[in-house]
Amino acid sequence: MPIEFAKYHGLGNDFILIDNRHSSEPVITPEQAVDLCDRHFGIGADGVIFALPGQNDTDYTMRIFNSDGSEPEMCGNGIRCLAKFIADLEGSEIHPPQPPLAKGGSESKTEYRIHTGAGVIITELRSDGQVKVDMGVPRLLAAEIPTTLAAADAKAIDVPIKVADKSWSVTCVSMGNPHCITFVEDVSAVALETVGPQFEHNKAFPQRTNTEFIQVVRSDYVKMRVWERGAGVTLACGTGACAAVVAGVLVGKCDRATAVELPGGVLEIEWAEVSGRIYMTGPAQRVFTGCMSD
């Protein structure tokens, strides 16, 4: 049966979006997702995202298959794309007449509560076209990440690890998915394709890990390159940018509000001091729509 899709990207981190609201299970398999994500023989993407019915008082449920067929808990750039996709879907549908709005009411919904494998994520579509996401509270205990670089009930902050015959100092953070952050003098000098897989599959990370390499330009501005678990080198990683700022604050290198420059563009990240919640703001853009068939 033909399946309609849309292609979106967040700072070059690109996804195939599928309207899956009629079913609580994805309409394609992880193996099919691998074929669709192939940039030579398929549509080409870093992952396939499904907009499923909401659960537990949420508006929608998000699931995602990476380009290697694995399923991550969440994706920061992906959830911004999903929010735009949902808004486009709702905007294209014919709705029955609505009663007059109360004074001060809004003509369109700009906020969505989305159920993910990392918990409930709240997205807000702003009038300037940016999407602001409440990413929740970062998890710092080794058991929560998970990693064996510290005791289960301790934090892995600025700890050593040997990868690719070199000793690195890393900080580990979970944004609902695992991240390993290391600060370097020059991100452009990192052999990402060589070092990235060795971090991802290191035995210190039983569920594998995303790895962020960070160059501090100023305390409120950093450059980042990322090796994503299950996707490899990508142009941007939203959860990685959040984790990087958390790590930067923990080791005294970053402000709580820091701009993160990735190869695909800039994300604005804020780690609120009182609530402890992380907020990510960045773009999401539709590239094209299409229809796939057997």
Amino acid 74 reads: M
The three-class DSSP label of residue 90 is helix
Query: How buried is 137 (Cβ within 10 angstroms: 0-12 exposed, 13-18 middle, 19+ buried)?
Result: middle
Amino acid 216 reads: V
Q: Beta strand 159-163 with 131-136: parallel, antiparallel or unpaired?
A: unpaired
The three-class DSSP label of residue 294 is coil
Distance CA 78, CA 80 (A): 5
- Write out the catalytic residue numbers: 75, 237
Amino acid 262 reads: L
The three-class DSSP label of residue 70 is coil
Contacts of 199 (CB under 8 A, 6+ apart): 163, 180, 205, 209, 211, 227
- Which segments of the chain are extended strands (E)? 3-10, 13-19, 47-53, 60-66, 111-116, 119-125, 131-136, 159-163, 166-174, 178-183, 210-218, 221-228, 232-234, 257-262, 265-271, 278-282, 285-292
